Amino acid sequence: MELRLAYLSPELSEEFYRRRALRGARVYRLLSYAGTLLMGSYSVLEYFLDAPNWASNLVLRMLGAVVLTWHIHRLPKNPCDLQLDLHVCRHILLVGAVVCGVLLRMPTGFSVGMPGLTQLLLLGSLIIVRSGRVPWLLSTVALIGVAMWFDGGTFKLITTHLISLMLGLGMAWIVSTLQEAASRREFLLEKRLEFEATTDGLTGLLNRRALTRYAEDEVDRSSRYGHGLSVLLLDIDHFKSVNDTHGHDVGDLALRSIATLCAGAIRSTDRLARWGGEEFLILLPETGAENAFVLAERLRARIESHAVDMDKGQLRLTVSIGLSQRSQGKDWDVIVKKADEALYRAKEGGRNRVLVAPVS
């Protein structure tokens, strides 16, 4: 399993981006609530800078705080990347409208309001780190410069503020990008460990523990809704003699060959695992004993007719298969035990055959 997102399945890639959106949503909510409180605290500073307009500005800010709080709560609980981006953009526009509405009424204008405007863009750069959003942030910086010029700011003042703002945005973007890379590495490492913990290293199939977890859920579902569920337990006949005669390399090749044949014979809803040694188990949800027997016979015949290519000639293999099904009240361990008993009888009866466990 490669530690690169590009090589992951679409499902894993989707999971990574969903996690990223959830993490971004948490950061957004935290910064938004903190920013709303900070916006209200500016009223204390305004009392000394613009006392005549203090009361009306306070009303405008309180109204903005109510609207922003309402807007924060409108973000879906589990947003996707696009939903989060659009929500943050709307939030920045709402806060910008409130801040500009207040600042244009003050004698010191945007010079006093630059901390608030910087906060808006920092919020955007922390949440929206993909390159496609950078032009949007830069255009916002340009609009701030135009607004400061109309507000009477000198070229030196405007240049100083914009340079400081750009440096702050650049640092925020770098931090976000590094965090993004760290999150990706952490996610991929987690998936690699999960893959190794649930997959048989030789055949690439599920291992016993992983299939048991799936099977217990399927048994519960089958019991609840009364649907069929069957199990096939396969064992390669005379496998020990294969290892003794041809060596373990050929034995490993035989195991991989059987795994490939089994995987190609089942549905996408079925589960296949290496159960242990030369045994394989196939879980067949929504399948009764009759249909499971047809599949088992087809698979047995397919393996019997298949030749495993070796360096010196070809190897023919056969399998014995035990079949069991869920009956009323049985749990997973009982189903596997019945399949194992049927497999044992198939071995005792001459091998290369399918036997069905009786329904008790």
Three-class secondary structure of residue 285 per DSSP:
strand
> How far, in Å, CA of 237 to CA of 241, rounded?
9
Q: Are 21 and 84 in contact, with CB atoms under 8 Å apart? A: yes
Q: How do 307-309 and 314-316 pair as beta strands?
A: antiparallel
- Non-local (6+) Cβ contacts of 177 within 8 A are 129
Amino acid at 278: E
The two counts, helices (H) then strands (E), for the chain are 11, 7
- Non-local (6+) Cβ contacts of 346 within 8 A are 320, 321, 322, 353, 354, 355
> How far, in Å, CA of 43 to CA of 294, rounded?
79
> How far, in Å, CA of 272 to CA of 207, rounded?
9
> How far, in Å, CA of 168 to CA of 187, rounded?
28
Rg (CA), the chain: 33
> How far, in Å, CA of 148 to CA of 161, rounded?
10
Q: Are 162 and 114 in contact, with CB atoms under 8 Å apart? A: no
Strand partners, 281: 233, 273
Question: Is residue 263 within a helix (H) or strand (E), and if so which, with residue range?
Answer: helix 248-263
Q: Are 230 and 284 in contact, with CB atoms under 8 Å apart? A: yes
- Non-local (6+) Cβ contacts of 45 within 8 A are 112
Q: Which of 278, 279, 290, 341 is catalytic?
A: 278
Active site residue 297: no
Q: Are 232 and 284 in contact, with CB atoms under 8 Å apart? A: yes
Q: Are 184 and 1 in contact, with CB atoms under 8 Å apart? A: no
Catalogue the active-site residues. Answer: 278
